[in-house]
Amino acid sequence: MSAWYRRFERLDRTITRWMAEHGILLLRVSLGIVFLWFGVIKFVPGLSPADELATRTISVLTFGIVPPEISRPLLALWECLIGLGLITGRFMRVTLLLLFVQMLGTITPLALFPAETWGRFPIAPTLEGQYIIKNLVLVSAGLVIGATVRGGGLTDEPQALREHRAEGR
């Protein structure tokens, strides 16, 4: 093995170890910032690009019982709570439950308002549709974070992972 390869291998292991040690924390905090930010701007009517579609969706889902002047600040508060929970790492199970329930609501405009969310179904979403579809990444991030709420984490050693899986069989 060449000296260059050994140096590269050592650097690669160091970087991978750092990512395994800090990746979940950075994912959790960055996801929290996104939710907090999007929640805060919903407190100001018209500031969020998703404002009108979100409040209309809530109105349809509640059969008109919850009007926009109630749903907008409620949704803003809901997203801020998710953001704060993720940033602080406190009440993670409740935070993730709020996140997943909220995400279920965010995908419904794809079915409720297809003319606004699809330029050409199912291959060309509108800008609003793209805004909704990107939530798949947020849900996936929530799943990864959720996998660690019992103390689990990432590993940079595949052998340790293989041994752990073998023990569970």
Query: In this predicted model, what pLDDT tens digit does every residue of 65-93 receive, in sequence order?
Result: 999 999 999 999 999 999 999 999 999 99
In a domain, 92, yes or no: yes
Look at residue 9 and tell me if it is in a domain: no
User: What is the pLDDT averaged over residues 40-54?
Assistant: 92
pLDDT confidence of 164, banded at 50, 70, 90?
Answer: low
In a domain, 160, yes or no: yes
Query: For position 167, what pLDDT does the model report?
Result: 76
Evaluate whether residue 25 is within a structural domain: yes
Q: How many CA atoms lie within 13 A of 96 on its CB side?
A: 17
In a domain, 143, yes or no: yes
The pLDDT of residue 161 is above 70: no
Within a domain: residue 5?
Answer: no
**Domain contains 158:** yes
Count of domains for the chain: 1
Confidence check: pLDDT of 107 > 80: yes
To the nearest whole number, what is the mean pLDDT of the chain? 92
Domain that holds residue 111: 15-167
Domain membership flag for residue 2: no
pLDDT digits (tens, 9 = 90+) for 5-31: 999 999 999 999 999 999 999 999 999
